[in-house]
Structure 1
Amino acid sequence: MKIGVFATFMSPLATPQMIRDFGRRAEGAGLDSIWMGEHVALFDKNTYGYPGSKDGRIPTPPGGGMLDVTATFGFLAAATTRLRLGTGVALVPQRNPVYTAKEMCTLDWLSNGRLDFGIGVGWNKEEVEACGYRWEDRGARCDEFMEVMRRLWTEPVVDFAGKWVKFETMRLDPKPIQKPYIPIIVGGYADAAFRRAVEFGAGWYGFNLDPARTRGMLDKLDGAFAKAGRTRGKDFQIIITPPMAMAMDAMQGYAELGVDRVIVNLGGQKPEQVDKRLPEIASLVRKAA
């Protein structure tokens, strides 16, 4: 079982020096990967609350906000040599699929094949609408956008005629380093997410799940595979971020479930918090080796 870290880099704490040092420390400690969430904007009022906190709000420092995942990963790719970089998750239905395909294959190219493309449909209705899309059809749009990207990553010339995307004789280069394309890791707990993982995914990502809840979600995932007439293979990655308060010693339970990668939440980014949390995660790396 490999160990990574989930870090929501936020200004003003996440300075260039802090991110560079953190990436090198994480790599030096033997971590497998750094994962980062995505929100391009936050709102004072939301239709639906953030599912990762009790009050439904993403905790951000006063006057600060989340850094862009694509730019940050480009910066981290230059500061490291081995760490994998995972989007946890990229909000595909509110992105432009052609730009996203280009950004991700460029990141894969510049990092020498170290990118994992975690995807999801998102929870923030206001954010989706601010990006110019409808909330209600985001699932179907996600499927179409993923098909666009997958074809642009693998075919020399692409024609596409969908509901949201139409173009003829398009070329997109460079192609990703990883073959057949960048690993797509699907996040989410709805039936549609498990179906999407079977259709598009090289893996499934569960966030804030203890081993008991993970077991239940894996049963649903295997049900989706069975519905598609398939069986989950050993090459299909199961990636889990445990609850923040979960004890490090309890994480062995994930290995017993066959989880491939545990992505431990860093929590705060104040220097004293990082200095405390990173050695704890490094100790888990040693135990898992």
Structure 2
Amino acid sequence: MRFGLTHGNIGRFADPEAAAEVAVAAEASGFDSLWTIEHVVLPTEYEPLYPETADGRIPFAPDHPIADPLVWMAFAAARTSTIKLGTAVLVLPQRNALITAKEVATLDRLSGGRTLLGVGAGWLREEFDALRVGFEDRGRRMNDTIGAMRALWSGGPTDFTSDSVDFTGVVSSPRPHGSSVPIHIGGFTVPASIRAGRLGDGFFPGGYDLDRLDVLIRRCREEAVAHGRDPDAIEITSRWTKDRDALADLDVLHRLADLGVDRVTVSTLLFDHEHITDELARFQESVIAKF
């Protein structure tokens, strides 16, 4: 079992000293990956549909700092050497495919191939409205963007044609450190599991219900088989808990492993940000060292 730390780029960690501290501490404490979140803006009023809280509200105020994930990851990469750096998730339908491909490839090359690109369709309609990008067709645009980015990362003059992305004879350089950047599909929904099975290098369901997680992982694997892909090659990352007290219940980790989860993540929201180095060191002793 591998462990990831999420919400690395929020709150005080949006500031340089704290950002460096959490990145170095996570690496030193045995986390294999450090993940960021993305919101370009947070509306002051929105329909409460956030999928990870009971009331559908984002668990912090609109003015809570959320650093740009890719810029933050480049900063963290410069202060670390081995920990992987991921997005959980980049809201891909809000982004230009060519610019995002360039940014991600640059980050991956500068970090020595440590980028994990988690992507999602997004849920916050009001944010899409503020950005003046369509909400209803976001799933289709996300699929197009994934295909376009992989084409651009392949090297050489590239053509790509779809409903929302269309280019001919262009080159995007530098290429990623390796042949591509792993794309992890985020979302705690059946459409997300289907997309992961068809297109993903990984699947990152964002919820905590183990029964639903089981259904989604199975659906992902079924879809992979149906499209001639190896289901075991799709890396499964899940969340563990949103309750700090539940971090003592190690039985849940064994249940997650039985479901086929490769990596379990915990959020910085479960730790004291002012003492993050000590907090993560204790987590390493009480949890990571036992797995």
What is the deviation of 1:94? 0.6
Q: Could you say which residue in structure 1 is the equivalent of 2:263?
A: 261
Which consecutive aligned stretches of 4+ in structure 1 deviate over 4 angstroms post-superposition?
Answer: none
Q: Could you say which residue in structure 2 is the equivalent of 1:214?
A: 213
Sequence identity of aligned pairs in percent? 33
| Distance (Å, rounded) in 2 between the aligned partners of 1:144 and 1:63 | 32
Q: Could you say which residue in structure 2 is the equivalent of 1:189?
A: 188
What is the deviation of 1:165? 2.1
Q: How do 1:1-289 residues align onto structure 2 when only pairs under 5 Å count?
A: 1-12=1-12, 14-60=14-60, 63-179=63-179, 181-233=180-232, 235-245=233-243, 246-248=246-248, 249=250, 250-267=252-269, 270-272=272-274, 274=276, 277-282=279-284, 283-288=286-291
What is the deviation of 1:145? 1.0
What is the deviation of 1:173? 0.5
Q: Is the 8 A contact 2:242 2:270 kept in 1?
A: no
Q: Which moved more, 1:255-264 or 1:206-215?
A: 206-215
Q: Is the 8 A contact 2:189 2:216 kept in 1?
A: no
**How many aligned residue pairs are there?**
286
Kindly provide the amino acid, as one letter, of the partner of residue 80 in structure 2: T
- Match of 2:238, SS state, is strand
Deviation digits for residues 228-251 of structure 1 (CA, Å, limit 9, x no counterpart): 354512x32010112211334232
Q: Which moved more, 1:88-97 or 1:153-162?
A: 153-162
- Match of 2:27, SS state, is helix
| Distance (Å, rounded) in 2 between the aligned partners of 1:192 and 1:208 | 14
- Match of 2:57, SS state, is coil
- Match of 2:281, SS state, is helix
More helix by share: 2
C-alpha RMSD of matched pairs (Å)? 2.1
Q: Is the 8 A contact 1:13 1:269 kept in 2?
A: no
Deviation digits for residues 153-201 of structure 1 (CA, Å, limit 9, x no counterpart): 013111233222222211100111122x100111123333222212221
| Distance (Å, rounded) in 2 between the aligned partners of 1:61 and 1:4 | 25
| Distance (Å, rounded) in 2 between the aligned partners of 1:168 and 1:212 | 45
Distance 1:254 1:273, change over 3 A: farther
Distance 1:26 1:131, change over 3 A: same
What is the deviation of 1:14? 3.4
| Distance (Å, rounded) in 2 between the aligned partners of 1:101 and 1:271 | 32
Structure 2 unmatched ranges of 5 or more? none
Q: Which moved more, 1:129-138 or 1:169-178?
A: 129-138
Kindly provide the amino acid, as one letter, of the partner of residue 205 in structure 2: G
Distance 1:75 1:19, change over 3 A: same
Deviation digits for residues 35-66 of structure 1 (CA, Å, limit 9, x no counterpart): 11111110111134212223322233684321
| Distance (Å, rounded) in 2 between the aligned partners of 1:71 and 1:218 | 31
